[in-house]
Chain A
């Protein structure tokens, strides 16, 4: 997914001279084509994320469209005030390509885990947040990033993630994609957790529970209509995300439901990382399993809430 996102930066930069790439201290093979063919659109600026974000804001105010790439934690927490003020307040057209959203860097420990990026960035006015499910969807979304006003945070998965998105479904920033319809339960997910959720829906179907899968590649602005339209008919609603349950997709959906004046009460759960710092290394998959971000846990949760354990 990261490779696709950077390949897309090259494609976008080739056709639009306003597009510039800014890295911090990335691998020597990063966008060598852009660097050699369009050196005035390629910058490697050192481990100075705060300066980079503000510098990019200023370049955007001068008409450039900067795409910044580094590790997600350093592109969210480290330079948060620069994001709030210089991207959000100034409403600048800067794109943050955040490598390793969630627990991708599990072996590297908690300093490298972006488990709260959606929560903190969701508080920034003018910010758009997208989390593609796979490389194909990344390509479809990246094409749209040139035209959107204001800052965009682009959350990347591990890379090599199985392709589960579909090119026959409309993919527009700000619009949820119903991947599968079903009246018994509503499963809402984002990013690479679409894999988990689709697998869970298959397993639920085998148990006779038809689940709708709503994929939010865009977490902000949230597609309120798509969520509430399906929430009206579903009795069980579960969110699935690779993120702390505080402030992320699950919280965003809960906020919507709480204020929707729905006719019937719903049974609702958030599946995500609990309020802890992950305490193991291993792999992304092993940490996902540790915190129950798995098809089995989704099935178990939905079945229990449906009264069909």
Chain B
């Protein structure tokens, strides 16, 4: 039995929110490590309140703990005040459940939700006393694994992670566990390398050390060469075909302190095939697979009963697209009648129908509605394939204003391909149109429109993966340009720091050489880079200089449509030719329809992965022929 970490409560009471570090939450699961065959530390590289709000790790945590032979525990990044105490008093990073040092687990799994959390991964390994580089870790060290959306471009982390998992793990994680348990029970034949070889042959698993990266004479990425027989040339994601019956936790951990999303969560469906060309999630999680309302109501009842939560959030990439949403909302309201449980919809579609549903769930407090037209003109919305019109938006707002809402929030992006100042002026125009609509409908002047404009970060596995991000100066000019067009105190305008986006872009489409930058940045003290107050762009620029790498090579360079990409070997099932076709259609402002209701658009996911669209209204696959470009 490994020794556990016990932190003096007097020291603990000195840090901000000590409850982040003590565990003991309702529904958290504590097992004796002597009674299990496998121990897993699930790590989220951010602070407790963010980490605990993430559904993915909660699913895997509960799923693995269903098994008697496995103990899965949680580890989150300590806030700097706690880190200082841990380093000063030599406390290693430990799990919340049994306070076991991370270094004593069989497997340590990180979730990769956003690029700006990468330095925290290095810092957490270091706090654990685990060597950062895979090559420096001996046989006694845990297997360091990672999954989540950023695993689809794993290369910047290739030197640090032993194995990446692509896709949805509810099924594959059990095979993974069985494989490791069998290997342990046989006395670890061939050591960790043999285990990784076995795992590399399983679907969705990528072992970066089994590949060599090659560059041409100009230093451009050429290819990744497999150097072990088990290493495949293409790693295909794992996907759950039967979303209806897949495991979903009904005993969520109830945190003792308030977290970002402190409510019960119901996942309505996976995937979104609207096909917005900037959106990575829309590509990574295809195809659409819905649960039935009956199953959802049953899950909701169990979750509420087991947690005590008084709010349940209907989560999905685009919840308003759930085919039976009105029925589901009615069923939930009926189910929880008299129980003081409210239902919430985190995202609304830009149409009047969405507002009708919002009306049902937000009976009392009309806090404000959020819509995301994403771009200011129809031309640019066509370029990004956001199938939304000005009429849709105004109809949605009219419905909202007629029903008592006074505040509307509009999300846009800037720095999109083909964007001109006319498109930016369109953002201001739309804001004014919405505000004037409010004045016209209500005859009052107390309406409020919030315009939030983020700067676009091109991501791998999207139609815009070839696009060079605009220079920071140009993004900042655009930000001010819009600002000068908005002169009404009833419209508030927000924009995001362009520098964070620069860094995200470099990592999102970086190759293995970006790993050096990460290491230099961590050594300089970069961490919690997603937190504005902790982000030091100057330190990052220094890290790039020390690594001899120009961030613009990755972030700003327009890529050739045929050049090899560092993530070509990691696939979500969609073909590169589909994305190339979408990239060309974008330039011509041509729309691609949603395959959910109409014919197949040929992304390749269904035939390549052997899965189907499941839409409760359309019926399973509704007799369509799926094909691949």
The answer to whether A and B interact is: no
**Chain B residues in the interface with A (C-beta under 8 A):** none
**Chain A residues in the interface with B (C-beta under 8 A):** none
